[in-house]
Amino acid sequence: MPTSEGLELSAEKRDAVWRELVRVIEGYIADVDSLRVTPPLDPDALRKELAAKSFATPMDAVEAVRYAADSLTNSQVHTPHAMYYGLFNPAPTFMGIAADALVAAFNPQLAAWSHSPFAAEVERHLIQQFGIRFGLSADSIDGTFCSGGAEANHTALLTALTDKLPAYQEAGTAGLPGQPTLYITADSHDSVRKAARVSGIGKRAIRVVPTDARYRMDLVALSRMIQSDREEGKIPFLVVATAGTTGSGAVDPLHEIADIAWTEGLWFHVDAAWGGGAAFSPTLRKAIAGVERADSITFDAHKWLSVPMGAGVYITRHPKILTRTFETVNPYMPRDASGLDIVDPFSHSLQWSRRAIGMKVFLSMLVAGWDGYREAIEHQAAMGAYLRERLADAGWRVLNDTPMPLVCFVPANHTDPSDRASIDAIVQRVVRSGDAWVSSTVLGGKQAAIRACITKYRTQKADVDRLVEVLGA
C-alpha cells in the first residue's frame, strides 16, 4: 500500500467521499431549520469523545466525513437557521460554498502574484468594484482581502500610523515625540482596541468619544478631545467611525467626522464591516453617505454579502499606502513576475501565505449579480422593519433607530438601563430553549438591550412572527 493512500485516496474512494459530502451538505441545507438552533454546551463530553480519536487506527474516509458532519450538526449554533438572529453571521451563498471547495482543491497560493495570477487579479477586480460602489475615485482605489473585519481594522490602524507618523515604521513608538492617539466610541468594534494593543501603541492610545441619543459619535466631544489631547502633547492620528455598529446598527455622522478628520489632519477610517452592504442598494446607500470620503474602509463580505467565513476587505483611496506599510524585500520569494505591473500580496498585507479569499465573493457576485444582492439586502432591511413593528406591537420598547435590519429592545417595564441581568435572563431563556438565537448588549456603554439582527437573505415574515412568539413565551 503506498504510504500516501490515506492522503490522496483512490478514485473510487474519492467518488464515495464526494457523494457523502454532497449528501450531508444538501441534507444540511434542506433540514437546518428543523434542528435546534443552539447546541448543548458541554466541553468535558466533547473532550472525552475526542480523546478517543487517537489517530492510531485509520478511519474510513466516508465514515470520517459523516462523523464530522454529524458532530457539527449536534454541536454548533446553526447560524444558517431561520431562527438565528445573530451577530452578522450569514447563511452562506451556495456559490460561496462551491468556491471554497474549488479553492481548497486548486489551493492557489496568494502570497506571490505569479503563483496565482487569476486569483490575485480576481481580488484586485473585486476591490476596485467595491471601492467604486463605496464612491471612491476609480483611479486611486487599492486594498487587500483579509481574514475578516478585525484584520481589516488592524490594517487600517497600521496604514494610518505609517501615513501620519512615518517614524513609527523604523523606531516604533519610541521614535515618536508623544502618545499616538486615536478616537472611537464605546460602540466601535473591539478589534480596534485589540489592534492598538498588539501594534504596540497600547490601550492608552484609545480615546472613547461619547455618543448621542442615537448611539452615534458626538462631534463636539470629538473636536474638544482632539484639542485637549494636543495640548497634553499627545499625537492624534486616526478617527474610526462605524457605519453599522455591531450593537445597534448605528451609523456615525460620516460627513461631519470626515470634516473634522480632514481639518485636523487625521486618518479617517470607516468600519463598514456589516453596514457596508448598504452600498449595494440605492435606497439604503444614503444611510452611509460620507463613506466615500474615508481614507480607508473595512468591509466584510462574510457579513451582509453572505459568503462563507472568512472574507474581509480593506479598501483605501491611497494607492501606495499598503506597500509603504507592508513592503518586504527578501531573497526567497518568486521573481517570476519582475518587471510586470503587479503587486505581490505578501508585500501588500498582513498575511503571507494565504488562500484565495476573494473567490467565494467572485463566484457569488458572478451568479447573483448586483441586482441579486440589491434584492437580498433590501429584503433583509424590509424584514428588519417588520421585526421592529412586530416587537412594538407586542409591547417591547425598541431602543435603536437604523434603516439596517438590526433591532435593540427591552420589555416596556425595563426602566433601569444598567439592569443587564434581567435582559440576560430573557436571552438565556430563548437561547436555552433551542428555538431561536438572540443576544444581549450594552448600547453606548450604558443601556442594556436585547439584540436581534436579520442575518439571512431567506428570512420571511413567518420567521419573524415566530421569533416574536418565542420572545414572548
Ligand X SMILES: Cc1ncc(COP(=O)(O)O)c(C=O)c1O
From CA 286, how far away is CA 290, in angstroms rounded?
Answer: 9
Closest CA to 267 of 134, 190, 174, 158: 158
Using rule CB under 6 A, residue 163 touches ligand X: no
- C-beta of 145: minimal distance to ligand X in Å? 12
Stretch that binds ligand X, among 43-51, 54-62, 266-274, 454-462 (CB under 6 A): 266-274
- Measured on CA atoms in the order 208, 214, 219, 224, is the torsion positive or negative? negative
- C-beta of 332: minimal distance to ligand X in Å? 30
Rg, the chain, Cα only: 24
- Can you tell me which of 93, 159, 162, 191 binds ligand X, judged by CB under 6 A? 191
Three-class secondary structure of residue 159 per DSSP: helix
Stretch that binds ligand X, among 100-108, 145-153, 339-347, 454-462 (CB under 6 A): 145-153
Nearer to ligand X, 115 or 189 (CB): 189
Which residues within the stretch 48-87 sit at the binding site for ligand X (CB under 6 A)?
87
Contacts (Cβ under 8 Å, ≥6 apart) of 345: 110, 111, 112, 113, 120, 123, 144, 351, 354
Q: List phi, psi (to 5°) of 145.
A: -80, 145
Nearer to ligand X, 195 or 343 (CB): 195
From CA 407, how far away is CA 390, in angstroms rounded?
Answer: 11
Using rule CB under 6 A, residue 149 touches ligand X: yes
- C-beta of 191: minimal distance to ligand X in Å? 5
Which residues within the stretch 324-353 sit at the binding site for ligand X (CB under 6 A)?
none
- C-beta of 402: minimal distance to ligand X in Å? 13
- Measured on CA atoms in the order 370, 375, 376, 378, is the torsion positive or negative? positive
Strand 142-146 with 312-316, pairing:
antiparallel
Which residues within the stretch 233-262 sit at the binding site for ligand X (CB under 6 A)?
242, 246
CB 73 within 8 A of CB 35: yes
Which residues within the stretch 287-326 sit at the binding site for ligand X (CB under 6 A)?
300, 312
Nearer to ligand X, 87 or 398 (CB): 87
Burial 46-62 (b: 16+ CB within 10 A, else e): eeeeeeeeeeeeeeebb
Bridge partner list, 453: 406
Stretch that binds ligand X, among 42-50, 148-156, 203-211, 453-461 (CB under 6 A): 148-156
- Can you tell me which of 82, 85, 86, 88 binds ligand X, judged by CB under 6 A? 88
- C-beta of 121: minimal distance to ligand X in Å? 24
Stretch that binds ligand X, among 46-54, 143-151, 206-214, 374-382 (CB under 6 A): 143-151
Interacting residue ranges for ligand X, rule: CB under 6 A: 87-88, 148-150, 153, 189, 191, 242, 246, 271, 273-274, 300, 312
